[in-house]
Amino acid sequence: GAVVSQHPSWVICKSGTSVKIECRSLDFQATTMFWYRQFPKQSLMLMATSNEGSKATYEQGVEKDKFLINHASLTLSTLTVTSAHPEDSSFYICSATNHRESYEQYFGPGTRLTVT
Amino acid sequence: GQNIDQPTEMTATEGAIVQINCTYQTSGFNGLFWYQQHAGEAPTFLSYNVLDGLEEKGRFSSFLSRSKGYSYLLLKELQMKDSASYLCAVRDRNRDDKIIFGKGTRLHILP
């Protein structure tokens, strides 16, 4: 199956700093990438949808100026958490799909963010 | 809007069969997914249903009834490694085909 990687797998940062998380599709071109956030024992909450070469669309309640998403190529999307706060600590998971080829979303392994 | 309901937790015995139900309400149904997620890991794809009926894949089967807004995931010959959360997710064509997840069902397998 298709492989999606995320980097870093875990990160600890101080309040007020920014953190960038990368999501890469390794063996296919991703027309669309999705960013999810998951708190402990809860389900995945869709944050935003990222299409290559266009602006991301954010779900209701997600601050676009705080969670900056860039999808510069068909294999890379980045999520930057700006001015991080402890409440931003969560598991961030990306997924990628190529609508022209498959209905399936392929998930990355996730990034554990801890803000101190 | 979209509403996806599934039980929060279930318990079953090793070697047995368990059925996890999912009901959904969506205006633009365009497929239903089941994912397995172990703690601290990303979800892994189990099944996809877009037409009514049963899809069987090894020990796992998934059923869909679009008229009832209902699906179930059936796990047979349960193994300890099946202890995980099972996520029901629906794709909505009225939301750019985004996949929206239910809260998940935590399945505990007892020896």
Of A1, A46, A107, the CB nearest to B43: A107
Task: Convert the pLDDT of each residue in A53-100 to its tens digit.
Answer: 788 999 999 999 999 998 888 899 999 999 999 999 999 999 998 877
Task: Convert the pLDDT of each residue in B51-66 to its tens digit.
Answer: 999 999 999 999 999 9
Whether residue B1 is predicted with pLDDT greater than 60 in this model: the reply is no
How many CA within 13 A on the CB side of residue B26? 28
- Written as one letter, the residue type at A59 is E
Range B13-20 average pLDDT? 97
Total beta-carbon pairs less than 8 A apart between chain A and chain B: 47
B43 cis-preceded (ω within 30 degrees of 0): no
Question: Could you tell me where the beta strands, DSSP code E, fall in chain B?
Answer: 2-5, 9-13, 18-26, 29-37, 44-49, 53-57, 60-65, 70-75, 84-92, 98-101, 105-110
Other Cβ atoms less than 10 A from the Cβ of A104: the count is 17
Place of tokens 């349960």: B78
Question: Could A109 and B91 be called an inter-chain contact, meaning their C-beta atoms sit closer than 8 Å?
Answer: no
Whether residue B2 is predicted with pLDDT greater than 70 in this model: the reply is no
Give the DSSP H or E segment for A80. strand A76-81
Q: How far apart are CA A19 and CA A113, in angstroms?
A: 9
Question: Could A99 and B97 be called an inter-chain contact, meaning their C-beta atoms sit closer than 8 Å?
Answer: yes
Q: How far apart are CA A94 and CA A67, in angstroms?
A: 13
pLDDT of residue A94: 95
Task: Convert the pLDDT of each residue in A6-51 to its tens digit.
Answer: 999 999 999 999 999 999 999 888 888 999 999 888 889 999 998 8
Which of the four pLDDT bands, split at 50, 70 and 90, describes residue A1? low
Chain B residues close to A112, C-beta within 8 Å = 40
